[in-house]
Amino acid sequence: MDDNDRARFADGLMPEEERGATMAHIASSPEEAELLADVAYMLADLDPEGGAITAAPANAGERHADDEDTGTDPKVVPLRPPSAATRPPQLEAAAAAGGDYDAVQPPVSGRASPGTDAPVVPLRPPSTARTWRRAPARWVALAAVLAGVLLVPLALSRSGSRDPGDFATLLTSRDAGLPTDDWVDRPRWPVNRGGGTTAADLPRSAKLGALQVDLEVAAAAGEGEQTSLVTGRMIDLLDDVAGSGPLVAAYGDIRSRAAEPGETLVPAVAEARESLASYVDEDYFNLGAWAEAAGIAAERRDAEFFHARASRKLLDRAASLPALEGEAQAAIQAIRAAAEPEQPDWPVLKTQTIQLLQQIAG
């Protein structure tokens, strides 16, 4: 899409068939979706109280003396007039011709074109009163459309902020289950346990993050055997952590329900993850979870996972951790370079995500 297409889309000037194709393009393009999502968030910020949109008073936009305040808000004119009746003739002609705003340039404020009497609409007429500008109704409608179509799946990746360890939701194929039957048994780290600390040590935090992702993927796919296996290993890691009794019980309950379908089990798994966050080092827990999810994404060739803003921010954070050095940092840099192209380097990502797990969980 170019700027002209975005303008026609925003103003509702696209024919229905073209609008449908545009929506499909937006849904398939993370960059376009994030751009329009930013627009919708900005528009939402214009009406923070969620109040009703009311029609502008009859004298909206009229100049008045600076010392006059009528108690109403006639002073601010929307950037885009809300109807064809108030649209300048040049833009009205453009709309009639298909909405090509690039084809017609409105006159510069204060200078009419020769032989014309084009109205000049000041963006913010002089006033001593401080007022709030309501978004025109069609812009609010656009924000609602974008919220329904784009913002729900993009809400987290837009800012990169998410709950600790919540990276399985970035996978486009989470419901497909774990990549192989022996995925959980592949060599990722030495088999050992922590030392009874009040909070899990750093390697154990990374292991718990990785296993949590495996659990969420297995549970979402209804893989009962894998769900039971993963919860058992998490319980083993948590069993000697001081004060972890309630958390161990929660994972034990999930293990007993492993045969349940994903729609009933996933909420319990997510709730357990939220409780687990208070027992781990957040940075290592996040990095372990992301590395395991990245390994699954590399197996599935899920480029969107690596291009998501949350993935980029996680790697930026990991690169700044003073506790990570040497081979761990080398793996992070290799992953960043391999994930950058539109088509990532899948063999490198497969080997380097394992390398990263070995370094942080060993």
Per-residue pLDDT tens for 222-264?
999 999 999 999 999 998 898 999 999 999 999 999 999 999 9
Phi, psi of 201 (to 5 degrees): -70, 175
- Ranking 28-37, 254-263, 332-341, 353-362 by mean pLDDT, the lowest is 28-37
Q: What is the pLDDT of residue 9?
A: 77
Q: Does pLDDT of 126 surpass 90?
A: no
Confidence of residue 343 (pLDDT cuts 50, 70, 90): very high
Provide the mean pLDDT of the chain.
75
Q: Does pLDDT of 69 surpass 90?
A: no
Report, as an integer, the average pLDDT of 85-91: 52
Report, as an integer, the average pLDDT of 137-154: 49
Percent of the chain with pLDDT over 90: 47
* Angle separating helix axes 30-46 and 137-146, nearest 10 degrees: 130
- Residues 190, 203: contact at Cβ < 8 Å? no
Distance CA 67, CA 248 (A): 69
Beta-carbon contacts of residue 331 (< 8 Å; ≥ 6 apart): 352, 353, 355, 356, 359
Q: Does pLDDT of 183 surpass 90?
A: yes
Q: Does pLDDT of 34 surpass 90?
A: no
Q: Does pLDDT of 201 surpass 50?
A: yes
Report, as an integer, the average pLDDT of 119-135: 46
Intra-chain end-to-end CA distance of the chain, in Å: 47
Q: Does pLDDT of 302 surpass 80?
A: yes
Q: Indicate the burial class of 129 (C-beta count within 10 angstroms; 0-12, 13-18, 19 or more).
A: middle
Q: What is the pLDDT of residue 202?
A: 93
- Residues 189, 208: contact at Cβ < 8 Å? no
What pTM, to 2 d.p., does this model score?
A: 0.59
Q: What is the pLDDT of residue 27?
A: 72
Confidence of residue 132 (pLDDT cuts 50, 70, 90): very low
Q: Does pLDDT of 67 surpass 80?
A: no
Q: What is the pLDDT of residue 200?
A: 57
- 332 vs 145 pLDDT, higher one: 332
Q: Does pLDDT of 46 surpass 60?
A: no
Distance CA 206, CA 287 (A): 7
Listed ranges 33-37, 67-71, 118-122, 237-241; the one with the highest mean pLDDT: 237-241
Q: How many CB atoms lie within 10 A of CB 16?
A: 6
Read off the DSSP letter of residue 94: H
Element (H, E) at 288: helix 282-300
Q: Does pLDDT of 50 surpass 80?
A: no
Task: Tell me if residue 53 falls in helix, strand or coil.
Answer: coil
Q: Does pLDDT of 55 surpass 70?
A: no
Q: What is the pLDDT of residue 110?
A: 45
Which tokens in the block code for residue 238? Answer: 């948590």
Q: What is the pLDDT of residue 71?
A: 52
No. of helices (H) and no. of strands (E), the chain: 15, 0
What does the domain layout of the chain look like in residue ranges?
A: 3-158, 161-361
Report, as an integer, the average pLDDT of 61-67: 48
Q: What is the pLDDT of residue 61?
A: 47
Distance CA 287, CA 360 (A): 8
CB-facing half-sphere around the CA of 356: CA atoms within 13 A: 32
* Angle separating helix axes 245-256 and 224-238, nearest 10 degrees: 170
User: Which residue type sits at 324?
Assistant: L
Q: Does pLDDT of 156 surpass 50?
A: no
Q: What is the pLDDT of residue 207?
A: 96
List, as one string, the DSSP characters of 182-215. TGGGS--S--------SS--HHHHHHHHHHHHHH
Report, as an integer, the average pLDDT of 44-68: 47
Phi, psi of 224 (to 5 degrees): -60, -45
Q: What is the pLDDT of residue 22?
A: 82
Distance CA 309, CA 198 (A): 33
Which tokens in the block code for residue 220? Answer: 């979402």
